[in-house]
A and B are shown apart, each in its own frame.
Chain A
Amino acid sequence: MKCQELLKVLNEYVEGDIDPAVCQELEKHLAGCNPCKVVIDNIRKTISLYKNDQVYELPADFKQRLHKALQDKWKKQGKPPSDKPSGQES
């Protein structure tokens, strides 16, 4: 396997969804190619950064407005809430 061939199956490799024979070939390449090893590590870190739960939070005031708007529309549509929305139990 050459570097460019590795790039083409990179998604499948980092997602653990790769044909075992191709995986073996890829890992053989990695054992002798440090640049590819670093690229794969960079890709994993890139994906992980964007998946990080802490980075993107719904603004609290918007969340409140959103749920209020949904509740109001539900009532208007003639489907009254079967219960109070969560967080408003007394």
Chain B
Amino acid sequence: MLHRQHRKHLLTQTTDKELVTQAQAGDYQAFELLVSRHERPLYAAAWHLTHNHHDAQDVIQNAFLSAMEHLASFRQDASFSTWVTRIAVNFALKILRSRRQHPTVSLDAGDEDGQVVPVPQYIADWKNDPAQTVQRRELRAILDDAVSQLPEGQRLVFVLRDVQGLSVRETAQVLDLTEGNVKVRLLRARLALREMLTKRFGDPATRQQPHVHDHASLAGKPLAAGLREPSAEDET
């Protein structure tokens, strides 16, 4: 038992890359630790994508089973996290497609990547820390509802980057997008969520109007030196 606990302790200090190598050599405990490390954020991501607990659980279970099945051929060109997330996203998209009975779900649909960044409308300080003042269940419902209102392409990017904690680069790899495209969608998603949550948590007494002097002539206005406008390349 001591040996087992000591080994477990050693494994917890091992990198994902080393754990994958050990699992590929037949070490189940290494594989299980990989699952334990990634199951929670992956579940949160799956839940936000499917908005259904059973579907989210199916996504996670299928993703890890599939990862196990293909472990031998995983060459670690990407991180384990990126690889298993890509598998999970594919399962989630399959579920979304079957729900809508659409042959495909386009990641480029709608005006998600429009050039003009939406201007914040409802600007107010938040009353208090929502996690302290709202019941956990209620807070979760509010957060879920807000994410569910994002266009799908933005939702995918936001969930992978801000819920699951992937880097911009990893998010781009998982979704087959450019990093520029991920940044544009992330910005729009964060601004949209801020708008929705400020309507919920903002203190009306502190509400301020946007600075209209700048906003009236936004579109097409050149940026200050050193700033980069999202390019057309980012939008494809």
Contact = CB atoms under 8 A, between A and B. Distances in A.
Given A46-B194, A49-B130, A8 B29 contact: no
A16 interface: no
Top 7 A-B pairs, shortest CB-CB distance: A81-B28, A56-B44, A2-B214, A3-B214, A4-B218, A83-B29, A7-B117
Contact of A55 (B26, B27, B119, B136): B136
Nearest to B5: A89
A57 B42 CA distance: 11
Contact of A1 (B32, B202, B224): B224
B68 A9 contact: no
B75 interface: no
B74 to A, nearest CB: 14
Interface in B192-228: 193-194, 197-198, 201-202, 206, 208-211, 214-215, 218, 221, 223-224, 226-228
B119 A69 contact: no
26 contacts: A3-B119, A3-B211, A4-B117, A5-B224, A7-B187, A10-B187, A22-B226, A25-B224, A38-B125, A41-B126, A42-B123, A45-B201, A46-B194, A46-B197, A49-B130, A50-B163, A51-B162, A55-B44, A56-B43, A57-B40, A69-B65, A70-B31, A70-B65, A74-B28, A82-B27, A85-B32
A78 to B, nearest CB: 9
Contacts, number: 175
A7 B1 CA distance: 56
A42 B136 CA distance: 20
Contact of A8 (B60, B193, B210, B223): B223
Interface string A1-42: 111110111110000000101100100000001111011011
Interface string A63-90: 1011101110110010111111110011
B64 interface: yes
Contacts of B230: 8
Interface residues of B, number: 73
B169 interface: no
Given A52-B131, A70-B65, A89-B4, A42 B197 contact: yes
A56 B47 contact: yes
Q: Is the interface of B mostly helix, strand, loop or mixed?
A: helix
A19 B33 CA distance: 38
Q: Is the interface of A mostly helix, strand, loop or mixed?
A: helix
A70 B35 contact: yes
B21 interface: no
A71 B227 CA distance: 52
Given A4-B218, A7-B117, A85 B197 contact: no
A36 B90 CA distance: 38
B208 A34 contact: yes
Interface centre among B33, B194, B218 (most CB of A within 10 A): B194
